[in-house]
Amino acid sequence: MTHLQQREQEISQYVVTAAQMRDIEERIFAAGMPVVALMEKVAGLISRRLLAMIPPGKSRVGVLVGPGHNGGDALVVARQLHFQGYEVWIYNPFPKVKELTSQHLQYAQSLGIPCYQAIEQLPNCDLLVDGLFGFGLERKLTDAVASAIDHFNTWKQPIFSIDLPSGLHTDTGEVLGTTIRATNTFCLGLWKQGFLQDQALDYLGKAELIDFDIPLADVQAVLQDAPKITRITTAKAISNLPLPRPPVTHKYKEGHLLLICGSHRYAGGAILTALGARASGVGMLSIAVPEYIKPLLVSHLPEALVVGCPETETGAIAHLQLPEKTDLNSFDAIACGPGLTTDSTPIVQQVIDSDRPLLLDADGLNILAQMGTIPSLQKRQATTILTPHEGEFKRLFPDIPNIHQDRVKAVQQAAMQSGAIVLLKGARTAIANSQGSVWLNPESTPALARGGSGDVLTGILGGLLAQAVKKQIALEDMVATASWWHSQAGILAAAERTELGVDAFTLTQYLMKAVMGNG
C-alpha cells in the first residue's frame, strides 16, 4: 500500500462537526498556513475535479458566491475556469462580504468576469457552482437568498456544491429553510456529520471528499477528547472479517450461533435469518423454531442443527427445548426475534437473563419494548445488540424525541440509556456503543427497503458475532462490518437487477459476491 493510499483510508474514516472542523482549521492557521494559500489550494483541487467532470461542449458556468470563505473558494474556482477558457459569470447578492472574499471578487471583476446581484440579470449556463454557504451555517435562510436558492433548484443544469449544499446544517443535515439540491458535492478536508444523516441525502447528490492535506496530528488533537465518530470504510470492514482462517481449526472454533426465530405466521423470517447466518461463515449454526416449521428449515439449511420447540396455540415458540446436555451457555452468541411474534415473551426474558452476547431484532425488540425493561440491560454480563428500525426505536426509547433531526445524537443517547450497542437502521445506518462512540455506514441502496431485508442482516450479524467472540474481535467493530456487508450486497444486487429486483432471498445470494468483489 502506498503512502497516499494509506492516508486516503485513514482520512476517510474521520467524521467531524462544524465546531470540530473550525478548531482544526484554527490549528492549521495558527501553525502558519496563510488563509489565502489554503484557499488557493482548495480551489485548485476543486477546479481540477470540475475540469474532469464537465462534459465536452459545456462551456458556460455560473458561480454562486456567498459572503464568507466558501464564497472566496468559489471565486478562485471562477477565476481558474475563466483562465481555462470557460464563459463564467458570478452571482453575488450580498452587500457585505469578508475581506479576503472581497479581494477575490475585485480581482475576478478586473479580469472581465461579469458579476450580477439580481436573479433577473443572470444569463443561461450549462452548470452551476454553489459557493453561497459552507460549513457552520446555523440560521434559517429567508428572503432574497432563500428565493434565489429556490430559483436555482428549478433550473435543469447540474449544480456542484462546495463543501455542503448551501442551506444544509453541517451536523444534522437539516434543511435550514431551503437548500440547494446539488448534483455533486465536494466535501472539503474531512467528512462532515451531516453527510451521514438521512435527511440530507436528497440534497447532496454524489458526494466526494476533497483531501487538502490536513495534518492528521491536528485532526487527532481536536478529536481525542470527543466521542469517536467513525465512517465505516471498505478497508476497515474487510479487515474485521475473521479471515484468513488458521490452517488447523474446527467448526466450534469458528463460532456457534443460536438463532431463535419463526412462527407459523412468519416462517419466512426464520429462513431468511438463517440464510444470512449461513453466509457469515459461522462454524456451527443452531436454529430454534416451532416444531411445525422444523422440516421447512431443514430443507433450506441441511447443514444446520434445527431444534423444534413446543408451540403456543398461535404457532409461536412456547419455550426453548434445546438438545440434551445443551443450554444457552453452549453457544458463543444468540440472535433472537425475526418472525417470533409477541407471543414468545418468556423466550426473550430467558435470553436476556443469559450471559451470552445477545442480538435482539424485530419481535425481540417489540417484546423488549412491551416489557419496559431497557435499563435492566445494563446489568447483563455480556454485550447486548439492538437493531431497530425507526418505528421500533421509537417504541424502545419513547423519551428520545425527534430522531429525524439528529440520528447520530439519538443513537448515542439510546446506547447510553440501555448499555447496549444500538444499530439504528436507515439509509445511513448509525451504530453507537454505551461510551458514545458512533459508526456510520456511508453507503446503502433503496433496494433494501423490502420485507425480510432486516432478517438477513440479523443472520449476518449473529454469525459474525459468534465468530468475533472466538477470535476476540471487538463486537462494535463486527456490528459495523455486518452493516457494511449487508448494504454492499444490496448495492451489488441492485446494480445487476435494478432496485426493484432485490427481494430478501435474492439478497442472500449476493452476500458472498459482495465480500469477494471488495476483498
Give which of 175, 157, 159 is closest to 207, Cα–Cα. 159
Q: Among 184-198, 306-320, 371-385, whose mean pLDDT is lowest?
A: 371-385
Q: Residue 309 in contact with residue 320, Cβ under 8 Å? A: yes
Q: Is 428 annotated as a binding residue?
A: yes
Q: How far is CA 341 from CA 92, 327, 423, 480, 499, in A?
A: 59, 23, 21, 27, 29
The answer to whether residue 221 scores a pLDDT higher than 70 is yes
Summarize pLDDT for 85-112 with one digit per residue, the tens.
999 999 999 999 999 999 999 999 999 9
Q: Is 45 annotated as a binding residue?
A: no
Q: Residue 48 has which C-alpha cell?
A: 481540477
- 208-173-150-67 Cα dihedral, nearest 10 degrees: -80
Per DSSP, what are the bridge partners of residue 69?
none
CA-based end-to-end distance of the chain: 14
Mean pLDDT over 456-468 rounds to 98
Phi-psi sector, 194: left (phi>0), alpha (psi -120 to 50), beta: alpha
Residue 57 known to bind ligand: no
**Annotated binding-site residue? 419:** no
pLDDT at 519 over 80: no
Give the position of cell 493510499: 5
User: Does 426 show up as a binding residue in the annotation?
Assistant: yes
DSSP, residue by residue, 287-327: EEEEGGGHHHHHHH-TTSEEEEE-B-TTSSB-S--PPTT--
Three-class secondary structure of residue 483 per DSSP: helix
Return d(Cα 132, Cα 69) in angstroms, integer.
Answer: 9
Confirm or deny that 73 is annotated as ligand binding: yes
Summarised one tens digit per residue, pLDDT across range 243-299 is 889 899 999 899 999 999 999 999 999 999 999 999 999 999 999 999 999 999 999
CA 285, chain centre distance (Å) = 29
Find out whether 194 is annotated in a ligand binding site.
no
CB–CB of 287/297 below 8 Å?
Answer: yes
Residue 371 pLDDT level (bands cut at 50, 70, 90): very high
* % of the chain residues with pLDDT over 70: 100
How far CA 295 is from CA of 9, 185, 275, 363, 455, in Å, comes to 47, 52, 15, 23, 20
437: which 3 cell numbers?
A: 462512540
Residue 442 has pLDDT above 70, yes or no: yes
25 is in an annotated binding site: no
Higher per-residue confidence, 205 vs 9: 205
How far, in Å, CA of 215 to CA of 227, rounded?
20
CA–CA–CA angle 266, 354, 385 (5° rounding)? 60
Nearest to 163 by CA among 115, 114, 203, 116: 203
DSSP letter string, 405-452: T-HHHHHHHHHHHHSSEEEE-STT-EEE-TTS-EEE-----GGG-STT
**If DSSP codes are grouped into helix, strand and coil, which group holds residue 111?**
coil
Which sign, positive or negative, has the C-alpha torsion 61, 66, 70, 75? positive
Where do the domains of the chain lie, and which CATH numbers do they carry?
Answer: 3-226 (3.40.50.10260), 234-241+250-518 (3.40.1190.20)
Q: What is the pTM of this model?
A: 0.96
Neighbouring CB atoms inside 10 A of 343's CB total 19
pLDDT at res. 373: 82
Q: What is the CA radius of gyration of the chain?
A: 26
Annotated binding residue 427 = yes
- Residue of 120, 121, 147 whose CA lies nearest to 132: 147
Look at residue 404 in the predicted model and tell me its pLDDT: 87
The Cα–Cα gap between 16 and 462 comes to: 30
**Is residue 429 part of an annotated ligand binding site?**
yes
Residues in the chain: 519
Which amino acid is located at 24 in the chain?
I
Q: Of the ranges 86-95, 203-212, 401-410, 475-484, which one carries the lowest mean pLDDT score?
A: 401-410
Q: Let me know: does 407 contact 169? Beta carbons within 8 Å.
A: no
Is 137 annotated among the ligand-binding residues?
yes
Q: Is 239 annotated as a binding residue?
A: no
Beta bridge partners of 187: 209
What one-letter code names the amino acid at 420?
A
CA distance 365 to 359: 10
Distance between CA 61 and CA 230 in Å, rounded?
36
364 marked among binding-site residues: no
140 is in an annotated binding site: yes
pLDDT band at residue 73 using 50, 70 and 90 as cut-offs:
very high
448 is in an annotated binding site: no
Q: What does pLDDT average to over the chain?
A: 96
The one-character DSSP state at 251 is G
517 among annotated binding-site residues: no
Question: What integer is the mean pLDDT of 19-25?
Answer: 97
pLDDT, mean of residues 159-183 = 98
For 284-305, the pLDDT digits (tens) are: 999 999 999 999 999 999 999 9
395 annotated among ligand-binding-site residues: no
